[in-house]
Chain A
Amino acid sequence: MDQLTRLMPDEMVSVREVFNLDSDLKVAAFREADEHVPEVDPAYRFNHDVTLAILAAFTRNRRMLLQGLHGTGKSTHIEQVAARLNWPCVRVNLDGHINRLDLVGRDTVVLKDGKQITEFQEGIVPWAIQRPVALILDEYDAGRPDVMFVIQRLLERDGKMTLLDQNRVLDLHPGFRLFATANTVGLGNLNGMYHGVQRLNHAQIDRWNIVAALNHPPAEDEIGIVLARVPELDDAAGRKLVASMVAVAKLTRDGFRVGDLSTLMSPRTVITWAENIGIFGDAGKAFQLSFVNKCDEAEQPLIAEYFQRCFDRELEAPRTSVYLPAEPHPAAAFAVAAG
């Protein structure tokens, strides 16, 4: 229980220095890191608005929901802020199979001194709320309704948590912070891209103090992110290449928005593509293997068009398409004669 002795953050750091953002804010941080503090990624690039929102959530104890399309780095963003504040941080993935007992804890049979006894084992939630820990609930909108109501009490800043099986009431630690990330804002799977997400109870959404959106970064930022991840491309030719890759990604996102595509390139895919260029030595080949093959066959000719626009060469691929009819059936030749 040594963490319980570290009650609260013990120093103030300048946002300008630590996060390289244009702001005079000072935020609370811990002087020393412990085992739960994530690793600092020096290449990480912070989004200005979202970073300020996350810092507000840390410093002013606000509950924060971060929404955005897949692969935009929502959880990583919170983690990297926590890493620089030395704030311990735990991530829980709320997939459809996590149930209430997993979060709260349950009675289990254990051996103690050679005898079988039942003992209550705390779940992640009681553990986290008694410590100065930032709990990140990933895939918040995929969580099942019964799980949501466990969380509901935690969302109130001065809420207490009752363990019914134990007749215990737990106070929230003042250093406890709660974050969630989601692909949708609780409206459900509207565009068919996120199967398994739930429509959220509005009483839930209402209790989040800050709701921020992290979507695809502007092109210059995205180029920076990719170059930071794949530094071997960081020369004049490489920059040009990455700019074109990001332009393709943007076209897929616009194509998705207007309804031509059912898949879009996330920044994560762009990074994978850049890494695969190192392996296969050719942008077209790597594109085929990192993104095109994930798409519906009927949409591949269109993606090849996007590629042509940004690279001024054709994407060499088997361009099978539903628009082109298959070879006529051999028996079809008889039809004319008979008709």
Chain B
Amino acid sequence: MASLAEQTEQAETERAEASSRQLAAASLRRRKQTLELCAAAMRALSGQGRLHFRGPALYRESAPVPMPAPHLHPGTDSTDLDAFRGAADGMALRLQHSDAALHGSLCPVTPARMLVFEMLEQFRTESLVDAAMPGVRANLNRRFQQWSREFEASILADTDLGIILFTVAQVCRARITAEPMSPDFEARIESTRAELAPHLGTHLAALRRERFSQPGFARHALSIAETIAAISEVLEAREARPSRSGGRAPQFQLLFDQDSNDDAVPTAGYGGSDALDSGEGGYRRFTTAYDREFQATDLVRAELLCGYRQQLDDHIARQGINVPRLGRALGAVLSTAIHDGWDGDALEGRLDGSRLARLVTASGDRRVFRTERTEPRSDATVTFLVDCSGSMKEHSAAVAALVDVYARALELAGARCEVLGFTTAAWNGGRAGKDWIRAGRPPNPGRLNEVRQLVFKDADTPWRRARPAIAGLMKKDLFREGADGEAVDWACARLSGSSGNGGRGSNGSERRILLVVSDGSPMDGATALANDGHYLEQHLRDVVAAHEAAGTTEIFGLGVGLDLSPYYRRNISLDLSRGSSAAVVGQVLAMLAGRR
């Protein structure tokens, strides 16, 4: 009986875990969707393309765009559309109305001056909102009020310096944008405001008047920043550490720079690697002597593959995915029009010699022309590159199903498809690691492991023949660690057929698409220890950026329950906790069909 109770309990726990995973994935998706909508609205408002969010940070192409004003950074745990709307609209106005170069040349360097100056410049651009857009104005106000409430609830509001900054923010924004101050705050800042008034009075009046001219405005803003900084320095010198009152929100960030954003949702880790930047010659491999490329059929016994295949087929059958329909949809997405034969009996077009006799025999019948017929044909190669690192084990069945369905549908659509995987042959560096230790642990050795590149299906093998090999993705003991950057390089090289004829590549395809299925940042224990934590991440980012810049291959990141936006410009996150459902398949299709 006890075992039964235990079993029930275990099943209960598993169910709870699965549902919480699902909830997290759903909220991540909602958040990504919200951010995407806000980014699109921002592109239209500012009239500048190529802007997008990576995590919550704003980027133009692959360069970060600094947005230092504190109220433009809604908390990362909120999925509330309103908060992001206000922040995105604020950023759009800033991009539209503020000259970044001029601003940079005027901006002071000490933190307190910078904070005040950044805030005032942001208020200035917010005051320039088009009168025909009351929605933008309301979004900005809502966001500012929300930020003010958060500020008030934080411990910062209890310090003298904090209340001064708060007062400056409230008074200046009300003055510059001519929006009334919230009465809740008015009482709170009354005395501070009265103290500050003689110091700021003249400049405060000028702010609104000068809001159309950035340099004119900056003169007064700088004076205010200077005054506040002077007061704060006096206060700092005099005051002991602020007292901590219970129940207050402990963390409240005032100065934002792009790299230091704490992020509560699962966003893939990103950060610079000093080892990679300082090492000569960029990314290094300590030794490539143990790197191998395998066919999946070489690693897994045929009988085992047969069993896996059976499981995979059952799984796919249960999901009820309509593969022919997916094939047609992919055909529409990937096709280009090509000329294919002629249509005769036309009233216009090129003269058709075989019909000329008709002019004599049937007068008045002028159908003697022919026109070129165009047919859609898929001219694309799609590669799935599966991250076979340890954490992907639990998703192996779902990933195998997804890849298998797509391989079949792509074949129906007339496109070519490759299925590749990458992992390592050992944990903690393997023989490469031992060699490094034997060599006396030289610093910055580069990648330290035995890389294994797996080919489950190459572009020339038809799906029918590759069926058992694809099932090899389900063999969990292949899954170890991985160096993503090298794998992406390898897959791109295979796509462009650089080993072959060159030019358009041996496969001669018009479109080359690489889909990287991964659930995490590149992780290799030995490499991370011997270099630094971000070594492989930074390399992955560099590799993807280089291939995107070259423009020969379209790279998409499919994050399994993870936001891969730090690495891949085009990315989605998938929820595979229920296997590869029709919804997941549709998500991938929508991503491929996306215009951007």
A-side residues, CB < 8 A to B, are: 99, 144, 219, 240, 243-244, 246-247, 251-252, 254-255, 257-260, 262, 298, 301-302, 305-313, 321-329, 331-336, 338-339
Contact = CB atoms under 8 A, between A and B. Distances in A.
Contacts of A338: 311, 314-315, 318
Contacts of A257: 47, 49
Nearest to A307: B135
16 contacts: A251-B44, A251-B45, A258-B44, A259-B49, A301-B37, A302-B41, A309-B41, A325-B584, A325-B586, A328-B578, A332-B318, A332-B319, A336-B578, A338-B311, A338-B314, A339-B315
A312 B135 contact: yes
B596 interface: yes
A310 B135 contact: yes
B138 A339 contact: no
Given A247-B132, A328-B583, 5 more contacts: A240-B132, A243-B132, A244-B132, A251-B44, A329-B319
Interface in B549-574: none
Contacts of A310: 132-136
A247 B137 CA distance: 13
Nearest to A322: B590
A331 B401 CA distance: 15
A301 B50 CA distance: 19
A319 B486 CA distance: 41
A338 B319 CA distance: 12
A275 to B, nearest CB: 20
A260 B135 contact: no
Interface residues of B, number: 50
A255 B318 CA distance: 42
A326 B582 contact: yes
Contacts, number: 134
Given A219-B132, A339-B397, A258 B43 contact: yes
Contacts of A305: 37-38, 40-41, 85
**Max chain A Cβ within 10 angstroms of own Cβ: one of B40, B44, B45, B89:** B44
Nearest to A146: B348
Given A325-B587, A331-B319, A333-B578, A308 B44 contact: no
B561 to A, nearest CB: 14
B595 interface: yes
B383 to A, nearest CB: 24
B210 to A, nearest CB: 24
A336 B397 contact: no
**Max chain B Cβ within 10 angstroms of own Cβ: one of A246, A329, A334:** A329
B154 interface: no
Main secondary structure of the interface of B (DSSP, over half): helix
Interface of B: 18, 29, 33, 36-38, 40-41, 43-45, 47-50, 85, 89, 130-139, 311, 314-315, 318-320, 348, 397-398, 575, 577-584, 586-587, 590, 595-596
Contacts of A336: 18, 577-579
A333 B320 CA distance: 12
Nearest to B574: A325
Nearest to B11: A337
B40 A247 contact: no
A196 B583 CA distance: 36
A241 B578 CA distance: 48
Contacts of B131: 243
Contacts of B581: 328-329, 332, 335
A144 to B, nearest CB: 7
B132 A246 contact: yes
B583 A326 contact: yes
B401 to A, nearest CB: 8
Contacts of A334: 318
Contacts of B36: 323
Contacts of A219: 132
A236 B58 CA distance: 39
A308 B319 contact: no
B135 A335 contact: no
A327 B38 CA distance: 25
A221 B176 CA distance: 29
A252 to B, nearest CB: 8
Contacts of B40: 255, 260, 302, 305
Nearest to A223: B132
A331 to B, nearest CB: 5
Contacts of B41: 251, 302, 305-306, 309
Given A243-B131, A244-B134, A298-B590, A329 B44 contact: no
B595 A262 contact: yes
A312 B36 CA distance: 20
A307 B48 CA distance: 19
Given A243-B131, A257-B49, A258-B44, A335 B138 contact: no
Nearest to B34: A323
A301 B587 CA distance: 17
A309 B136 contact: yes
B542 to A, nearest CB: 26
A243 B133 CA distance: 8
B582 A308 contact: no
Q: Which 7 pairs across A and B sit closest by C-beta, in order of nearness?
A: A335-B579, A258-B49, A325-B583, A243-B132, A247-B132, A255-B44, A312-B135
B586 A312 contact: no
A333 B193 CA distance: 61
**Max chain A Cβ within 10 angstroms of own Cβ: one of B43, B133, B582, B583:** B133
